[in-house]
């Protein structure tokens, strides 16, 4: 996949995706300032690392996964997930893991690749692109119950594949 390698291409990419990223982040944070910061950080990082990034799916899916990762980091740092000391230790482990977004993205892609093609499609539509069960059912011309069943199966497999990661990272697939 060709990534933007000059300012004009980057601007086109930004203009194409910023609203989608903003919406995905805002739904999760409900905070305009935080959402703007998250989207800005994603695009700054994307531009700075444009020569190193290897995208295995679509650019949109990659950027939406980046949103989820940044939202998790935001909540971890703002201590909204802290209910007890044990969870605090999990967050500390998450921060110290040196498990960067690229590593998480690769791990998630490896797990998704273990799904059947239909499960992969439904998982990506739901967890990466943010479609509802009914929207997926409508687009794929299948019942909502079939989507639900396939999604449950997919989530079980992906969770099992990612169980070696910090529990907080598993939120990446829940958000």
d(CA 164, CA 158): 11
pLDDT tens, residue order, the chain (175 aa): 567 778 898 899 999 999 999 998 888 888 899 999 999 999 998 888 888 888 877 888 889 888 888 887 777 666 544 444 444 444 444 443 334 666 777 778 888 889 999 998 998 888 877 788 999 999 999 999 999 999 989 988 888 887 776 555 555 555 4
pTM to 2 decimal places: 0.57
Predicted local confidence at residue 30, as pLDDT: 87
Place of tokens 């994307």: 46
> 67: which residues sit within 8 A by CB, 6+ positions away?
21, 24, 25, 28, 38, 39, 42
Domain definitions of the chain by residue range: 7-174
d(CA 19, CA 67): 12
Predicted local confidence at residue 117, as pLDDT: 92
Residue ranges in the chain assigned as alpha helix (H):
7-29, 32-48, 59-78, 85-96, 101-113, 117-123, 133-140, 144-161, 167-174
Predicted local confidence at residue 97, as pLDDT: 39
């Amino acid at each position: 996949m060709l990534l933007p390698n000059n300012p004009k291409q980057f601007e086109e990419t930004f203009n194409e995706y910023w609203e989608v990223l903003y919406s995905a982040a805002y739904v999760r944070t409900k905070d305009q300032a935080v959402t703007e910061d998250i989207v800005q950080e994603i695009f700054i990082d994307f531009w700075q690392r444009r020569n190193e990034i290897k995208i295995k799916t679509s650019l949109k899916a990659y950027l939406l996964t980046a949103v989820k990762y940044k939202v998790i980091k935001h909540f971890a740092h703002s201590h909204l997930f802290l209910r007890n000391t044990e969870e605090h230790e999990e967050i500390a482990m998450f921060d110290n893991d040196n498990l960067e977004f690229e590593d998480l993205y690769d791990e998630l892609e490896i797990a998704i690749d273990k799904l059947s093609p239909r499960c992969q499609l439904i998982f990506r539509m739901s967890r990466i692109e943010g479609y509802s069960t009914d929207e997926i059912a409508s687009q794929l011309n299948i019942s909502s119950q079939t989507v639900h069943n396939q999604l449950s199966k997919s989530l079980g497999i992906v969770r099992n594949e990612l169980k070696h990661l910090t529990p907080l990272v598993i939120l990446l697939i829940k958000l």
